[in-house]
A and B are shown apart, each in its own frame.
Chain A
Amino acid sequence: MSLLKPFSKLPGLNTANILLVENEEQFQQKLADTVVLHEKNVNVNVRLARSLPLPMENEESRPRIDLVVFIIHLTSELSFQSAETSLKYLDPGYFLGKVCFLVTNARNASVPPERLVSVRKLAASLHCPLLCAEDQTTEGVTTAAHRLLAILKVAAGLVPMATGLYLSTFTRCTVPSDIDQQNFE
């Protein structure tokens, strides 16, 4: 079992590494380009993957991953399942503020609401933040990139008074108890 461990390697100077995991491999590229474009002060390296576990060949050359982002498209069930299976290959140390879930097409009417509910429950049980993003427009991609950058900088230890664990106590996803009833009160 090749687990991805958070603290097994030394961090680079003024660098942050983010890993985008997406089954469909369509949103990753746009997001990666925008993220690199918008950050000027820090060296941001974006690594893309389809699923975990990562291939053993570049185990040595791979730097320390500061944030793992699972991109789930709500329009396909396969996306969610692939993310769930990939979770097993992550060291538990990652779930203390170094994992984030990114969901697209949450507003789409053709998406069954149970899928979003199950993603939320998964994120809440793992104490990870859940972000919603819009992948069709450039503003949506830019907004998502900015938010990911904010979380990345904290997770990489580049923000003076905050660590990933500290931030995760405030950004973790919560599931309201009567989510099945969906009352609009």
Chain B
Amino acid sequence: MEPLDRLENLASSLETVALNGFQAPTVDNGQKDNSPAEILRIKEQMSNQCFEMAVKLQAGKSKISSCSASDAEKDLPDYANTLEEAKIIHFNKTLALHRMQVWHAISEKLKQSDPEAVAMRGMTSCSLDLCSRIKTLQQESCALQDQITDLQKQRLDLKRLTHEKMKEMDELKRKREHPEAEKYRNVLQKGQSHLEKYQKMATITQNVLRGIIIASKVNWRDDPKLRDIAMTLEDIPISD
């Protein structure tokens, strides 16, 4: 795994260089290490400052006296946009150029046969192996993912079927109760109407008997048989 670690370190240092652009960090403000990167950076700064001063001189020379501030304001966004686009194109082209230079340098190096080139070739073969491994692993994981989705689809189907079956069962249950309840209810109603009729007849006869006993002015409390009959008369409530 040693070439892998070296590759990782190289990649991270390349990343820092790319991200920081020209702001390579120096050790201390006082110490100026005269490395090529530092000198390049200062050269860039100086060229930028000279550019600014040249622009100022240019503006001083060609003073357009007839131009008013509001006209200039209107044109300003357009100029800014064209400037921005030009800068972006220039930057992309520079990046592409750097890329081509790096690739050319790498390919030149690989063709040679010094120890650095050998190490580079070893690293490239390592990374190629890793890439093919990654590809096979990715294919396997894709196949597994497909299997998982198939199983999930089947599960969903089964769930749906069970739902439908449950609904059918519920309906059947309800239907079965209905005809039986129907007959049951009819019988119950008939019985209840009979009961009411006979209850009415019983109460009416009881009222008649009570009336007879009262009207005959008989002392029913002394006679035990008559007393029992009179007592039972009061149990049944009078229904209208």
Contacts and interface: CB of A to CB of B under 8 A. Distances in A.
Partners in one complex: yes
Interface of A: 6-7, 11, 13-14, 40-43, 93, 156-161, 163-166, 169-170
Contact of A166 (B24, B42, B46, B83): B83
Interface stretch (B49-57, B168-176, B191-199): B49-57
Contact of A41 (B25, B87, B91): B25
Given A41-B23, A160-B22, A7 B56 contact: yes
Interface string B14-35: 0000000111111001001000
Contact of B26 (A6, A40, A160, A170): A40
B42 A169 contact: no
A173 B32 CA distance: 38
Contact of B45 (A6, A7, A14): A14
A178 B80 CA distance: 25
B76 interface: yes
A43 B29 contact: yes
B44 interface: yes
A179 B87 CA distance: 34
Given A160-B45, A160-B48, 14 more contacts: A11-B49, A13-B42, A13-B46, A14-B32, A41-B23, A41-B25, A41-B29, A42-B29, A158-B48, A163-B52, A163-B55, A166-B83, A169-B76, A170-B80
Interface string B45-87: 1101101110110000000000000000000100010010001
Contacts of A42: 29
B147 to A, nearest CB: 52
Nearest to B21: A160
B48 A159 contact: yes
A158 B91 contact: no
Query: Main SS of chain A's interface residues?
Result: loop
A75 to B, nearest CB: 33
A41 B26 contact: yes
B6 to A, nearest CB: 28
A169 B78 CA distance: 11
A156 B49 CA distance: 7
B56 A164 contact: no
15 contacts: A7-B56, A40-B26, A40-B29, A41-B25, A41-B29, A156-B49, A158-B45, A160-B22, A160-B48, A161-B91, A163-B48, A163-B51, A165-B55, A169-B80, A170-B80
Given A40-B26, A41-B23, A169-B76, A157 B48 contact: yes
B26 to A, nearest CB: 6
Contacts of A41: 23-26, 29
A13 B50 CA distance: 12
B87 A161 contact: yes
A47 to B, nearest CB: 18
Given A14-B42, A158-B45, A7 B29 contact: no
B56 A157 contact: no
B194 to A, nearest CB: 81
A134 B80 CA distance: 32
B25 to A, nearest CB: 6
Contacts of B49: 11, 156-157
B160 to A, nearest CB: 49
A114 B21 CA distance: 43
